[in-house]
Amino acid sequence: MVCDKLKKCRKCGVELIVGENWYECQSKCYNYICNECTIIKTGANQRANPERSRKYSRASYYRNGGESMAENKTCSQFLGVHVAERVLSETFKNVERMPHGHPGYDFICNKGKKIDVKASCLNVREKRWRYFIKYNSAADYFLCLAFDNREDLNPLHAWLVPSERLQHMSHASISQNTIYKWDKYRIEIDRVVKCCDEMRRN
């Protein structure tokens, strides 16, 4: 609806119509800026103050009932980021961890190799673990961790696979029936198990 008194956006001058180009909440607080100009203004503020914007987003997320990735097992990144990267930091010594979201790989080992961490829970119906590689050629190795399920998170296997074995794939699958084919890449999981046990106790 058009306001009783004609109002115009103080940024671009367009006529303001509630429900069309003007949010009702803005009309109630007399904020005379159209939706499009509001989006542009918000984007500019986020670019100018990225850290402040992230803090505001996090506060809003938790205020509305959101959980941290470390607490929310249904989060798509819980296994791959919180669990897998926590495991690598506790299991491998003298590693240089990359910031969250770093493209191509998650850490550099003490031999200077770039390693991308992948984690998967067993698909009971297909009897396999699936890892999303996404044609990644930036990493030197893929550390593939295999868990039983999201509830228990018991590590069953770990493989350190050279990049040339996987980088041409969108995803890689390791089947229980043919798991022996990956034996040459298998690494000991004692420290991985210990780390996961500690995470469950905390």
What is the structure's pLDDT at 70? 45
What is the structure's pLDDT at 180? 94
What is the structure's pLDDT at 42? 82
What is the structure's pLDDT at 79? 58
Q: The CATH number of 78-201 is which of 1.10.1060, 3.80.10, 2.60.40, 3.40.1350?
A: 3.40.1350
How far is residue 184's CA from residue 66's CA, in Å, rounded to a whole number? 42
In angstroms and rounded to an integer, the radius of gyration of the C-alpha atoms of the chain is 24
Residues with Cβ < 8 Å from 87, sequence gap 6 or more? 117, 145, 155, 192, 195, 196
Helix intervals (H) in 29-173 = 35-48, 50-63, 84-91, 163-166
What is the structure's pLDDT at 142? 93
Q: CATH 3.40.1350 residue ranges in the chain?
A: 78-201
Mean pLDDT by 10 residues, the chain (202 residues): 66 85 74 86 83 69 48 49 62 76 84 88 92 93 88 84 94 94 89 61 56
- pTM of the entire structure? 0.59
- 40 to 22, 30, 33, 37, 166: CA distances (angstroms): 14, 19, 11, 5, 42
Which residue has tokens 């103080």?
10
Percent helix / strand / coil, the chain, rounded to 5: 35, 20, 45
